[in-house]
Amino acid sequence: MAKEKTLYTCTECGATSPRWLGKCPGCGAWNTLIEALAEPAAAGRNRLSAAVPGQYAGLAQAQPVVPLAAIEAADVARTATGMDELDRVLGGGVVEGGVVLIGGDPGIGKSTLLLQALDALQRLGLPTLYVTGEESGAQVALRSRRLGIEGSQVQVLAEIGLEKILATVDAVQPAIVVIDSIQTVYSDQLTSAPGSVAQVRECAAHLTRLAKATGIAVVLVGHVTKEGALAGPRVLEHMVDTVLYFEGDTHSSFRLVRAIKNRFGAVNEIGVFAMTERGLRGVANPSAIFLSQHSEPVPGSCVLVTLEGSRPLLVEIQALVDGGGISPRRLSVGLERDRLAMLLAVLHRHAGVACADQDVFVNAVGGVRISEPAADLAVMLAITSSLRARALPKGFIAFGEVGLAGEVRPAPRGQERLKEAAKLGFMVAVVPKANAPRKPIAGLAIHAVERVEEAMDVVRG
């Protein structure tokens, strides 16, 4: 087959060049040209530039339009896998013709989860195909033995050529196909290496088109870069319907799967799993799994009640404030570093807690990533506790967003958070005034605060 023509396109401005160039001829940006298939030019097509009435006449037939009200909303057809935590993040199950991208660190459990999901779907009578580019069929079989599903009818294809994969999908006609991983797949039509931006984009585009045209659900496994972002072009996230991320510390057994984007369900919903000897098991009641067990309270630790997804989770925030030097370090794991810098400034200005000459380290226990601002108060309390070398009271929790003016803003669904904490035996809470419950919650003493200095005073003793 003759190679199709390729073009180099700037990811910034869209300018094209027939050759690769270091600097974009259009916008002058460096290293932004990527290889892509050139669209064959339609014969005799004019450039459509200025809008001239009637200029499209003769080029194409006008299509009938309908008012929105006249269109019937079709519900998407979805199949629950029966793995409750996975169904939860997917918004109820696998959607016909839906494309899911799932990312995460190596060894976190992507292949394990997907093999289990395929087996569950196959048991429901759906034909399934698992395409592996990273492991041999024998390795997949070994994993399946570990998972106790060695008798499974999941079809396996060890292949990395896109054209061969597409032909096989056409022949096998599965209801769902998993591509593990998209970075290993390559198309003959491009000269660049597998894993390059152009290859990943082109292959993902082909597979997305396949899903939309046939109704086959497609799951793409994506690698992440050292910074934790999905490797490959950002457009990958735009192309697909759902983006899931695996989070968690590979050293602990708990794993979170978070929906970053979902056209068929809620975003920021999370599924919680535990990695066991026999694969991933859903954790139905995960609220207390991210607490480390201190028999007595220690300085620099504050428990946060966060609402990641639809369920409250209790997460321990740890801080260490220690003598720095001329250029003290600020480091955070699981929390945004810019937000940390802001909180330190607010602490200094409004509560008189100065850490300017100290190193400040902050960590969310268990490898969870906290994205909601309601963590602010807990982070500030942990920092203050470490600086003063004084532990917070036993059974203490906090949540609330803090503004630049030192005000403490309410967090969504405060009552639910407080009830969960009380249920787990927590006894003291510092919360935003607007989140204070009208009726007392049994066993929980509540300090409702409006300003950050009030919060720091509560724990001064």
Site residues, Mg ion (CB under 5 A): 111
Give which of 209, 226, 187, 230 is closest to 35, Cα–Cα: 187
- Sheet (strand 6-10) strand order: 16-17, 6-10, 33-37
State which residue, 111 or 435, has the beta carbon closest to Mg ion. 111
Sign of CA dihedral 419, 424, 426, 431: negative
Residue 181 preceded by cis peptide, ω within 30? yes
| Rounded least distance, CB 117 to ligand TYD, Å | 12
* DSSP strand pairing (445-449 vs 428-432): parallel
State the binding string over 95-114 for ligand TYD (x if CB under 6 A, else -): ---------x-xxxxxxx--
| Rounded least distance, CB 110 to ligand TYD, Å | 3
* Residues from 305 through 364 that contact ligand TYD (CB under 6 A): none
For position 222 contacting ligand TYD by CB under 6 A, the verdict is no
Contacts 24+ apart (CB under 8 A), 436-439: none
Sign of CA dihedral 19, 25, 31, 33: negative
CA 228 to chain centre: 10
Token pair, residue 314, equals 């209790």
For position 223 contacting ligand TYD by CB under 6 A, the verdict is no
Question: What is the C-alpha to C-alpha distance for residues 294 and 197, in angstroms, rounded to an integer?
Answer: 46
Question: What is the C-alpha to C-alpha distance for residues 88 and 93, in angstroms, rounded to an integer?
Answer: 7
Q: Exactly one of 177, 256, 275, 382 binds ligand TYD (CB under 6 A); which one?
A: 275
State which residue, 192 or 242, has the beta carbon closest to ligand TYD. 242
Token pair, residue 455, equals 């919060």
Q: Please say whether the beta carbons of 320 and 386 come within 8 A.
A: yes
State which residue, 157 or 198, has the beta carbon closest to Mg ion. 157
Indicate the residue type of 26. Answer: G
| Rounded least distance, CB 39 to ligand TYD, Å | 35
For position 258 contacting ligand TYD by CB under 6 A, the verdict is no
* DSSP strand pairing (428-432 vs 396-398): parallel
For position 281 contacting ligand TYD by CB under 6 A, the verdict is no
Query: DSSP letter at 441?
Result: P
Question: What is the C-alpha to C-alpha distance for residues 190 and 3, in angstroms, rounded to an integer?
Answer: 8
State which residue, 9 or 111, has the beta carbon closest to ligand TYD. 111
Question: What is the C-alpha to C-alpha distance for residues 78 and 81, in angstroms, rounded to an integer?
Answer: 9
Token pair, residue 30, equals 């460096």
State which residue, 114 or 175, has the beta carbon closest to Mg ion. 114
Contact partner at residue 106 from Mg ion, ligand TYD, none, CB < 5 to 8 Å by partner kind: ligand TYD
For position 271 contacting ligand TYD by CB under 6 A, the verdict is no
State which residue, 140 or 418, has the beta carbon closest to ligand TYD. 140
Please give the angle made by the CA atoms of 137, 181 and 231, to the nearest 5 degrees: 155
Indicate the residue type of 46. Answer: N
Contact partner at residue 300 from ligand TYD, Mg ion, none, CB < 5 to 8 Å by partner kind: none
State which residue, 185 or 448, has the beta carbon closest to ligand TYD. 185
State the binding string over 78-97 for ligand TYD (x if CB under 6 A, else -): --------------------
Site size with ligand TYD, rule: CB under 6 A: 15
CB neighbours of 68 closer than 8 A, spacing ≥ 6?
none
Contact partner at residue 143 from Mg ion, ligand TYD, none, CB < 5 to 8 Å by partner kind: ligand TYD
232 burial level (CB within 10 Å; 0-12, 13-18, 19+) = buried
State which residue, 139 or 191, has the beta carbon closest to Mg ion. 139
| Rounded least distance, CB 181 to ligand TYD, Å | 8
Contact partner at residue 278 from ligand TYD, Mg ion, none, CB < 5 to 8 Å by partner kind: ligand TYD
| Rounded least distance, CB 166 to ligand TYD, Å | 23
Longest Cα pair distance anywhere in the chain, in angstroms?
A: 82
| Rounded least distance, CB 86 to ligand TYD, Å | 14
State which residue, 111 or 358, has the beta carbon closest to Mg ion. 111
State which residue, 112 or 384, has the beta carbon closest to ligand TYD. 112
| Rounded least distance, CB 107 to ligand TYD, Å | 4
* Residues from 107 through 146 that contact ligand TYD (CB under 6 A): 107-112, 143, 146
For position 243 contacting ligand TYD by CB under 6 A, the verdict is no
Residues near ligand TYD (CB under 6 A): 104, 106-112, 143, 146-147, 275, 277-279
